[in-house]
Amino acid sequence: MRQAKIVIVGAGLVGGSAALFVALAIPSAKVVIIDVARVRAEGQVLDLAHAAAFWGHSRFRAGDYEDARDADIVVITAGAGVKPGETRLHLARTNADIAAGIVARIAPLAPDAIYLIATNPCDVLTGAVYDQLRDQLRCERERVISTGTSLDTGRLRSLLSERLGVVASAIHAYVLGEHGESAVIQWSAATVCGMPLETFLTRNGKELGPASRDLILRSVHEAAKLIKEGKGATHYGIASAIGRICEAIVHDTDLILTVGIVQPEVEGIPDVCVSLPMVVNGEGARLIAYPELDPVERAALLGSARIVKEATQNVLHER
The answer, yes or no, to whether residue 280 has pLDDT greater than 70, is: yes
Q: Do residues 63 and 38 make contact, with C-beta atoms less than 8 angstroms apart?
A: no
pLDDT of res. 80: 86
Q: β-strand 5-9 against 30-34: which pairing, if any?
A: parallel
pTM, two decimal places: 0.95
Model confidence band, residue 200 (pLDDT cutoffs 50, 70, 90): very high
pLDDT at 91: 84
Higher pLDDT, 299 or 83: 299
Among 16-25, 87-96, 203-212, the minimum mean pLDDT is found in: 87-96
d(CA 314, CA 5): 34
- Taking Cα atoms as reference points, which of 209, 210, 154, 151 lies closest to residue 179? 151
Q: Do 138 and 117 contact (CB within 8 A), yes or no?
A: no
In the chain the domains, ranked by start, together with CATH numbers, are 5-146 (3.40.50.720), 150-317 (3.90.110.10)
According to DSSP, residue 124 is labeled H
Write the pLDDT tens digit of every residue in 113-170: 999 999 999 999 999 999 999 988 889 999 999 999 999 999 999 999 999 999 999 9
Q: How many CB atoms lie within 10 A of CB 52?
A: 18
Indicate the average pLDDT of the chain. 95
Q: What is the pLDDT of residues 222-262, one digit of tens each?
A: 999 999 999 999 999 999 999 999 999 999 999 999 999 99
Please give the Cα distance from 238 to 225 (Å, whole number).
14
For position 1, what pLDDT does the model report?
A: 45
Q: What pLDDT is attached to residue 57?
A: 67
Residue 55 identity (one-letter amino acid) = W
Inter-axis angle of helices 236-250 and 13-25, nearest 10: 40
Q: What is the pLDDT of residues 16-58, one digit of tens each?
A: 999 999 999 999 999 999 999 999 999 999 999 999 888 876 7
State the number of CA atoms in the 13 A half-sphere of 185 facing the CB.
25
| Contact by Cβ (8 Å): 52, 30 | no
Residue 315 sits at the vertex; the CA angle it makes with 309 and 319, to the nearest 5 degrees, is: 140
How far apart, in whole angstroms, are the C-alpha atoms of residue 291 and residue 278? 10
| H-helix or E-strand spanning residue 299 | helix 295-317
172 carries an active-site annotation: no
Catalytic residue from among 57, 172, 179, 251:
179
CA 213 from chain centre, in angstroms, equals 23
